[in-house]
Amino acid sequence: MPNRISTPLTINGMTLRNRFVRSATHEGLASREGVYTPELAAVYERLGRAGLGLVVTGHAFVSPEGRAGRNQAAADSDGCIGPWRETVDRVHASGTKIVLQLAHAGGAAADAASAVGPSPFVSGRNRPPCREASAGEIAHIVRSFAEAALRAKRAGFDGVQLHAAHGYLISQFLSGFYNHRSDAYGGTPENRARLLLEILGAVRTEVGRDYPVLAKINCEDFAPGGFSAAECIRLCRELERHGLDAVELSGGIPEAGPLLSPVRTVDPQPDGPVYYEECARELRRGLSIPLLLVGGVRDAAAAERLLAEEICDGVSLSRPLIRDPEIVRRWLAGETARSTCVSCNGCFRPILTGRGLFCPRDQRGARNHDS
């Protein structure tokens, strides 16, 4: 039986040495200003040495009002470029590619006073509703994504990924759960997709056609009136026509609850389907660009099956790599052991106290991060 997980994958000229991708995960290790720190650079270097084909960074905010939280990386000024370049060089030294994820938190931004969304809505407890973004603010957001993408290219990143999932700003515009506008950016699915298409067009203008541009998109929101699987499939095919190079399929928004959120607390069963497999299977039939799938892959056999059945072209991992950063290297070497990640989300709690991202079930990891 062919070992598909170890075969190369090319995305618009960017060739990955294998089919494993580290999906964007917020590390909480940037400085207060959002600049890459030595600790954050070390995380990416370690992931590169672990044998992955591609590392997608944690989300980087494209403008200050779009910042999601403390110690999030920034992409809003040229001051980011120097530390980025040093980090990129360290990852490239291991043979791994690295892509910068660009994001705007929209109505879920850390600063509630400046938060804007497609329509007013409340994100979290004890917060006022966000404001509806004006036409001028939308134009500013589009420019901010394009300028950030150009900075990424100048720093040597192998590409950029647009964060259009998980209830962040682009996802908010795509979703009828959040978007109740009656202008050109609301109402029909086509209008709700307008912001993403404008961002993609502006990014392409800045970085050129030969620079890889990816997008992370929900298969659906799993919330009443939210973005649906049918809308996802239509949108991804439209994005391909507008020059997108690859889709990473995820799912859920925070309001979907713990069982269906982007970091759902359901531990996938051995030999069972992974989280978004059904939508990926349908999407893959009409998509010519590579499809990456994240969520619920806990062993090499599942990854191999997804590739063999042509459900996706690349397999993305997040929490299993937090639990065991070396697991991909062992899978590629032929080990069959299942990840010991139990999907408890305890790995995200240390971020709240500024200790970064690690699995607290691993006491050695906890001691290393506390020291």
Query: How are beta strands 131-132 and 97-103 bridged, if at all?
Result: unpaired
185 is known as an active-site residue: no
Q: Which listed residue (36, 44, 168, 275) is catalytic? A: 168
Report how far residue 145's alpha carbon sits from residue 106's, in angstroms, rounded to the nearest whole number: 13
Could you tell me where the beta strands, DSSP code E, fall in 25-182?
54-56, 60-61, 73-74, 97-103, 116-117, 131-132, 159-164
Report how far residue 258's alpha carbon sits from residue 251's, in angstroms, rounded to the nearest whole number: 12
User: Tokens at residue 122, please?
Assistant: 């409340």
Report how far residue 338's alpha carbon sits from residue 331's, in angstroms, rounded to the nearest whole number: 9
Report how far residue 357's alpha carbon sits from residue 349's, in angstroms, rounded to the nearest whole number: 8
The b/e string for 256-286 (b: 16+ C-beta within 10 A; e otherwise) is beeebbbbbeeebeeeebbbbbebbbbbbee
Query: How are beta strands 131-132 and 159-164 bridged, if at all?
Result: unpaired
Report how far residue 253's alpha carbon sits from residue 179's, in angstroms, rounded to the nearest whole number: 14
Report how far residue 129's alpha carbon sits from residue 120's, in angstroms, rounded to the nearest whole number: 5
In degrees rounded to 5, what are phi and psi of residue 49? -70, -20
User: Tokens at residue 309, please?
Assistant: 């059945």
Report how far residue 283's alpha carbon sits from residue 138's, in angstroms, rounded to the nearest whole number: 29
Report the half-sphere exposure of 339 (CA within 13 A, side-chain side): 30
Catalytic site positions: 168
